[in-house]
Structure 1
Amino acid sequence: MAKRFAVETLDRSLKDIMNCQESFGGKVIVFGGDFRQVLPVVPKGTRAETVSASLVRSYLWNNIEKLSLTTNIRARVDPNFSDFLLRVGNGDESTDNDDMIHLPDEVVIKYENDEIFESNLLQSIFPDLERNATSSEYLTTRAILATTNEHVDNLNEKLITMFLGDARAYYSYDEAVDDTHNYYQEEFLNSLMPNGLPPHKLFLKKNCPIMLLRNLDPSNGLCNGTRMVCKSFGNNVIHAEITTGQHAGKQVLLPRIPLSPAENEGYPFQFRRKQFPIRLCFSMTINKAQGQTIPNVGVYLPEHVFSHGQLYVALSRGISMSTTKVLVKTDKRKNENCHFQ
């Protein structure tokens, strides 16, 4: 997801420093990552602008003489599943006349109707949720991925309702900075849901899974995307336990902090929200899950994926066809053969 401009700047700088016109001044550079994943995010950008910002399309890609493209998919995924994933990622998987990919029957949850198709997915990924509500391992080895925050919030709301325990509600303090004339009412500010910010109403229960949204203390494991479980609640602090990575098991305290959206959100005022920098993570967006391995993963696709690489990223979070389930909302004409773009 890195934009090519930063790498090209490094290339030019090393050429100047080394007084050498070879790529990167003749130095050996190792790139880590999977080139099949989603492209860089260009806010409000066209498809052409997104592709233009991608490292894959930069002049470096065509000028580096020795480029080794490897993947760790085969190392952590069963062979049959890995072959399918690599065909999807490379664009080699066969498609029909509508550019739809046929998903293996083993991973598809059959769509029946709007009333029960979501519950089928929830039960497949979170079976016996009530009995396992206190197990950190159970909660952090499974998640449902969706394309947009709207779908993620909907799934999280359903699952926190099913979760055992009494709910604790935390409300944010929202303000428009320097709004001396009070043009923006508090009710309006509370309704805003910019990307990267926690919701105004944050409902939590003891032992529920959460995800950190800011880099608070990277050296101690508190990074953007860190998954945790809630242990206890205070009025202005939350006690949580890190459940993934090298800091798994560490107990941490999370305070309320002021948060602002990125400038490219396009608000005509400076918005500030004081809230705990966390979200529920029974479900998360496909982009947020990039780089993670989730043994039991569900993919919620009521509509087509809208970005290059999203389907590959979603499917490749899992490790096996038997533990990866995809819910595709299809029309009656395609119920028998689940396809997706």
Structure 2
Amino acid sequence: MRLTVGSDPSAIEKIRDFAAWLLDIGEGNLGGPNDGEAIVDIPRDIVITNPHDPIGSLISFVYPSILENFNIADYFQERAILAPNNEVVQEKNDRLLSLFLGEQKEYLSSDSLCRSDFVHDEFDANLYSPDVLNGLKVSGLPNHKLILKVGVSVMLLINIDQKNGLCNETKLHVKSLGKRVIETVILFGSNIGNQIFILRMSLTPSEDKIPFKSQRRQFSLAVCFAMTINKNQGQVFIEFLVCSSKSLFSNMVNCMLFYPEFKIEND
């Protein structure tokens, strides 16, 4: 309904046909009578046709001519790759990061254990070696290794300054990479275009599943060409890709009702 406002008649008809097709899938009206499984014809314009480099064709769909357009703020505002988990997100981000020219810069975190938790317990340092702490990957916490290049799109992982638009999930554009500071520009919201300098911060994960408390000092950023599905709340994209599994397909169909164009990679 939102997409039809202000659109020309041909676009409105295309949007309605697309929505009707999605609803027919959800209601089991496609593929003929079935007992829960059916073969459904997918429209050719949303099918991946390149068997040799499907990931490359998907990236070209979402981020066409990325090296020519990465300095345009609107370019990253309207595009995203959505995935169900961080492993898929990392894979797609690494592929896109490799497309950018220039030298990449690697930032490693400093991880330490909060030993105050072991005041009354015997402390075994071997159980919590630096390698163990470096390997922790917790939601909301930056990875131990952060690799960036000038021009890439990154996402802020914590709330820093709400008044100036520095909130969790804020998208930023990297302008320069220093040893102790990263220069960025805000890509979204009322503070779009503001120059922001990001410093390392000491963060403690709040994950209850971890049986000890640790601290990580790192830039609270993550490359965000691709992001997990829950990170796209409140955002509107013109073109995007959903990397889905079978268990996510029904939820993905409901999500796609709100978008005019999409691509599917079913792993």
Question: Could you state the TM-score of these two structures normalised by the residue count of structure 1?
Answer: 0.65
The residue that corresponds to 1:252 in the other structure is 196
The residue that corresponds to 1:304 in the other structure is 246
Q: Deviations over 1:110-153 (max 9, x none)?
A: 2664x522111112212222222333332332111111111000
- Are 1:111 and 1:327, in contact at CA under 8 Å, matched by a contact in 2? no
Distance across 2 between alignment mates of 1:120 and 1:173: 38
Deviation of the 1:225 alpha carbon: 1.0
Distance across 1 between alignment mates of 2:232 and 2:6: 16
Distance across 1 between alignment mates of 2:2 and 2:171: 22
Q: Which consecutive residues of structure 1, in runs of 5 or more, have no partner in the other structure?
A: 1-70, 330-341
Deviation of the 1:244 alpha carbon: 1.1
The residue that corresponds to 1:188 in the other structure is 132
Distance across 2 between alignment mates of 1:290 and 1:107: 26
Q: Deviations over 1:162-214 (max 9, x none)?
A: 11221111111112211654231111211121122111111111111001111
The residue that corresponds to 1:163 in the other structure is 100
Identical aligned residues as a percent: 31
- Corresponding letter in the other structure for 2:109: S
Moved runs in structure 1, 4+ residues, more than 6 A?
A: none
Distance across 1 between alignment mates of 2:180 and 2:156: 16
- Are 2:50 and 2:57, in contact at CA under 8 Å, matched by a contact in 1? no
SS in 2 for 1:256: strand
Residues 193 and 111 from structure 1, CA distance in 2 versus in 1: closer, same or farther, beyond 3 angstroms? Answer: farther
The residue that corresponds to 1:288 in the other structure is 231
Residues 75 and 103 from structure 1, CA distance in 2 versus in 1: closer, same or farther, beyond 3 angstroms? Answer: farther
How many residue pairs were aligned? 252
The residue that corresponds to 1:211 in the other structure is 155
- Are 2:138 and 2:207, in contact at CA under 8 Å, matched by a contact in 1? no
Question: Could you state the TM-score of these two structures normalised by the residue count of structure 2?
Answer: 0.81
Q: Deviations over 1:230-254 (max 9, x none)?
A: 1112222211100111111111111
- Are 1:214 and 1:223, in contact at CA under 8 Å, matched by a contact in 2? yes
SS in 1 for 2:173: strand
- Are 1:141 and 1:294, in contact at CA under 8 Å, matched by a contact in 2? yes
Residues 126 and 103 from structure 1, CA distance in 2 versus in 1: closer, same or farther, beyond 3 angstroms? Answer: farther
Pick one of 117, 141, 144 that aligns with 1:200.
144
Deviation of the 1:277 alpha carbon: 1.1
The residue that corresponds to 1:135 in the other structure is 72
Tell me whether 1:325 sits opposite 2:263 in the alignment: yes
Q: Which consecutive residues of structure 2, in runs of 5 or more, have no partner in the other structure?
A: none
